[in-house]
Structure formats: structure tokens, C-alpha cells
Chain A
């Protein structure tokens, strides 16, 4: 059993926790990373691989996305560990005229903020994607500068690998039984674990969909809920698509505030399916997806699989003859206002939270690590992130 001292203890070794741990080590903090299972064993190995600006709302959401995507390029050049950084453009497919109009509006707003998105018509879409259905209205195109792919679990391994060179100590299969606070000041003092007592004045809760359980150890109510998503994996194939492909309806499934009705079957509707497709460096296709609330149950549901296939073949008919080798689901850490929590906690000095990124955890991973390190160092963050403050849930 050990009894150790660290400047900071990071809890959770997914895309957020590993990035936070890396950035803290880079800033010179003696850091420990504690993980209940293996590295990248939760949401970061049960998701897809893209980081986009075009699935974000205009404003801070997009600004953080772009900053993080730019930063990914720097990290890919700097890191020894290859996390399969692949800048590829994204096409947001508009099936019908109303979708094309809604996407055009969105495109205008993003253009006004300086982001280089543009609309493509049917002819250009068919040229860019030779295997796509020929009767679609068009698409919103995001160039590789705003749309990249990375391997989400390799990203976690990469951060741990690089941080280890800077002194990070990682404890996997670690159970935290207690977090001790100072009886008078309520400040963080130590953690009790199966590895012994770990003394620290600062902890960062990066446990994603499981952050509420870590929160409960100190009586904190962290309003994050698990939201299930499902993807299918194809056999290795000739390249069917050449961009990240999403249907505009994805926006609808992500943000329930966007309101329009698609011409889809009751099954697709009830399963909340939004088609997305991407090729991977191993030449498998990832086909998705949907969002459903099912607590922490990540078993695959046959009705979901049927609905995803039905919707996918609407856009890429040739999928009908390609084989599916696996289906998997995972939970995303959902927050009701669709913004993550990247913040200190007023009631517990030394307690920080970086969690609740829902489907943006991979995209926001690098920038979140940087922000959290700036917050802990009492430095000004790169830009105003007061909207991500935990205090917004105080009332």
C-alpha cells in the first residue's frame, strides 16, 4: 500500500481526463491519474472518431470546437504516439428543400463568424460522393480545417504515453472509496483507494457519464445523465465515402430545439436515428447512429440496428450488400444545456470538474485539458468560458 502526495489527482482516464492529466504535467504539476477500469474503457472507446465545428451551435460551442481542432494538428505533429489524426472534410446531407434551407441559414450564421462552411448542390454532392443516392437536395460542406478524425481511444493512450514522459503516474483498476475534506474549510485533503491513501489539495473529476458517482463521494450533485448512442462496424471494404457524412437530421437528434419533421419511417423516428458514416484508417466503415436515454445499459438493441441500417441505405444504397461485423453502444455524458462543465466548485476548495461533453468529448478533449490547467493555475483562460461554470446549476 502506498501513501503518496500529488499536486493534482485526476479522476477518469477517458478523452477528457487523459488530456487534463497531460496538460497538468506539461505545466509542471506532479499529477496522478486514477481510473476505475482501463484507460479509455468508457465512452472514449464506445463512440465515433470525428471532431467537427459543423455539429456545434454558433457561438462558444463552435469557437471551442475550432480552437480544439486547430490544437489537434499541433498535438499530432508533436506526439510520438500516433492517434490517427486525419483531417477530412465533412458533408452534412440535406435530403429535402426545408433541410437545405435550414442548413443554409446555419451556414450564413457560421460564415458571419468567419468559419469557412459552404453549401453544395446536388450535382456537386454526387461528384464529391460518387456512391451517394442521386436524389438528395445538397449538403453543407465543412473543409478539413473544421473537420477532422482521430482514434478516440488512441487519443487517450497518446495523452497517457506523452504525459508519462513528464512524470504522470497512472493507476488503473483503481477504486476510490472516500474523498476526505478538511473539517472546517471543506477543502480537498486526500483520497482513500485500493492503492492506499493519496494526499492532494486538488482533484479534477473527469469521470464523464460517471461523474455524478464521484460527485456523491463529497455530496455534490452533478447534473450529468448517460445518453446512449449506437454504431455499426462494417467489414473492411473499398472506400464507400470520402468525407465524414452526417444527415442534417443529426442536428435535430442532438438539439431537440431544432424542429422539423423528416420523411422517415415510424421505426427511424421512434429510434431517434440520425445517419452518419465515416471510413476509418483500417478501412472499416462506422455507420450510425442515434441518441436514447437508457441509463447505463449499453447492450445493443435490435430495433435500433434495424433502424440505423434502414436509414443508412437511404443515403448509400450499396451498403445493402456490405457486411456488418459488429454493433456497439456507449453512453455520452449529457447535460441539459448541451455545454460541458469545465469549472471549479465554490463549495469545495480544490475540487474541479471537467465533464459533461456529451458527443463532443473527443472534439473538446485538447482544449478542455488546456482550460482546466489554466483554471488550476489561476491563469486567464484562452477565452471566456464562464458559460461552462458549474455555478450555473446552483439554483
Chain B
């Protein structure tokens, strides 16, 4: 699937991470979504990977010949959507 992507295509818009950056992280030893994230910041931005995670997964699957399940997902952490610290202090996490 990733053969359709050009290397300069931006995958993670929040952190401006390209296909080439992700392939490079995989060459450096990343084997899953979290490994790519720590090496490139893909998924660390405002949307927390909602947009790019599936694309990163496809690149991993294609580069490493693994299943989407092996590529994993990023760890689910609250809050579900961005909320202010003021709201969070009142326990509004959803």
C-alpha cells in the first residue's frame, strides 16, 4: 500500500512527519506504532494519532511484511479529546 505514497508525503500533519521519516525510523529498529512514534513524534501532536495512525500502520505492514495487529496501536490514554486543565480539574475527561 505504501508504494502509492511518495517519500515526501506528510503522514502526521500535527508534527509534520513524512513517509521518509517513518521508513527511516523502521530502518532504525521501530517495529510498531509506538516505536515509530518515539523515533519521529508521529502521533504525539494535538490529534494524538487520530489522523495518521492508520497510515503509519500501513507503512509498517508494508515495510516489515507484518499484520496490522503486529503493528499495534498507540497506548490509549485520557483525555479522550483535548480538554482544558480547568475542565479536567472538575473530572471532565470525556
A interface with B by C-beta (< 8 Å): 38-41, 45, 153, 157, 170, 172-173, 232, 234-236, 282, 287, 300, 302, 305-306, 309-310, 312-313, 319-328
Residues of B within 8 A of A302 (CB): 78, 91, 93
Contact assessment for B34 and A38 in the assembled complex, using a CB-CB cutoff below 8 Å: yes
Q: Assuming the A-B contacts A302-B78, A305-B93, A326-B48, are A40 and B38 also in contact, with contact meaning beta carbons closer than 8 angstroms in the complex?
A: yes
Nearest B residue to A326 via CB reads B77
Q: Are the CB atoms of A313 and B85 closer together than 8 Å? A: yes
In B1-58, the 8 Å CB interface with A consists of 15, 28-32, 34-35, 38-39, 41, 44-46, 48
Instruction: Check B65 for interface membership: any CB of A closer than 8 A.
Output: no
Chain B residues with CB below 8 A from A325, complex form:
45-46, 48, 79, 82
The smallest C-beta distance from B58 to any residue of chain A, in angstroms, reads 20
A81 shortest CB reach to chain B, Å: 10
- Please report whether the interface of chain A is mostly helix, strand, loop or mixed according to DSSP: mixed
Known: A305-B88, A306-B89, A321-B84. 4 other contacts (CB 8 A): A38-B31, A45-B38, A320-B89, A325-B79
Q: Does B90 contact A (CB under 8 A)?
A: yes
Q: Nearest-CB distance from A297 to chain B (Å)? A: 13
Select A313's contact among B44, B78, B86, beta carbons within 8 Å. Answer: B86
Given A235-B46, A312-B85, A324-B84: A305 and B29 interface contact (C-beta under 8 Å) = no
Query: How far is A331 from B22 in the complex, measured between Cα atoms in Å?
Result: 28
B residues whose Cβ falls under 8 Å from a Cβ of A: 15, 28-32, 34-35, 38-39, 41, 44-46, 48, 75, 77-79, 82-86, 88-91, 93
Is the beta-carbon distance between A313 and B89 smaller than 8 angstroms? yes
Q: List 6 A-B contacts (CB under 8 A).
A: A38-B34, A38-B35, A305-B88, A324-B85, A324-B88, A328-B75
CA distance A80 to B44 in the complex (A): 24
Among the listed A38, A282, A322, which residue makes an inter-chain contact with B29, where contact means beta carbons less than 8 Å apart? A38
- Chain B residues, CB < 8 A from A321: 84-86
- Hey, which chain A residues are within 8 Å of B93, CB to CB? 302, 305
Flag if A232 contacts B85 (CB, 8 Å). yes
Q: Are A39 and B29 in contact (CB under 8 A)?
A: yes
Contact A306 B39, beta carbon cutoff 8 Å: no
Q: Which residues of A contact B32 (CB under 8 A)?
A: 38
Chain B proximity of A153: nearest CB distance (Å): 5
Given contacts A312-B85, A323-B83, contact A172 B78 (CB under 8 A): no
A306 and B29 contacting across the interface, CB-CB below 8 Å? no
Q: Are B46 and A300 in contact (CB under 8 A)?
A: no
- Residues in B neighbouring A323, C-beta threshold 8 A: 82-85
Please, how many angstroms separate the alpha-carbon atoms of A157 and B41 in the complex? 14
A-side contacts of B85, CB under 8 Å: 232, 234, 287, 309, 312-313, 319-324
